[in-house]
Amino acid sequence: MQRITISLEESLAQQFDDLISQHGYLNRSEAFRDLLRARIEADRKTKYKLMYCVATVSYVYNHAERQLAHKIMGMQHEHHDICISTMQVHLDHENCLETLVLKGPFKLVNTFANELIALSGVRHGSINTVPVEIETHSHAHHEHGHPISLLPHVHLQPNT
């Protein structure tokens, strides 16, 4: 690990310390690393729209609202190649909180996620993407007594 020193104006240092306290960081270094990673990833997303990512999309919707649940499910099936998993939590008799896990090219994942949360009736939508690098292998890591898959073994390595 490399040590660096930064100089901050008094008011900015105080705001940073307040942020550290609010988010429960143990020290300035951890908070600064997270802020730096977030900025690097934000820049990477704008520069490299073709990169690969994993993502979560979370939103709330009323399942009884005029075909909305059917539209959402239809969109997920249309994009089955990037939709990995869905978790649904019933908040009350009508409202559901849904979290969708996606995997694929950043531009495709981001476009789909934005279209989904832009649907009329979808509320509190948020997207979290993690850029990854793809590594493929044609070997098995261990023996389990089942035949080796003909599909490549894929690792998704987070970039930061």
Indicate the domain borders of the chain: 10-47, 52-129
138-148: per-residue pLDDT in tens? 655 555 555 55
Q: Note the pLDDT of residue 134.
A: 79
Residue 105 in 3-state DSSP? strand
Which H or E run contains 45? Answer: helix 28-47
What does DSSP say about strands 83-90 and 52-62: parallel, antiparallel, or unpaired?
unpaired
Q: Note the pLDDT of residue 141.
A: 56
* 58 close to 98: Cβ distance less than 8 angstroms: yes
pLDDT > 80? residue 151: no
Q: What CATH number is given for 52-129 in this structure?
A: 3.30.70.1150
25-49: per-residue pLDDT in tens? 988 999 988 888 888 877 776 666 5
8-state DSSP, 101? E
Q: Note the pLDDT of residue 88.
A: 96
Overall average pLDDT of the 48-54 stretch: 76
Q: Which two tokens stand for residue 66?
A: 């005029």
What does DSSP say about strands 95-105 and 153-158: parallel, antiparallel, or unpaired?
unpaired
Q: Note the pLDDT of residue 45.
A: 67
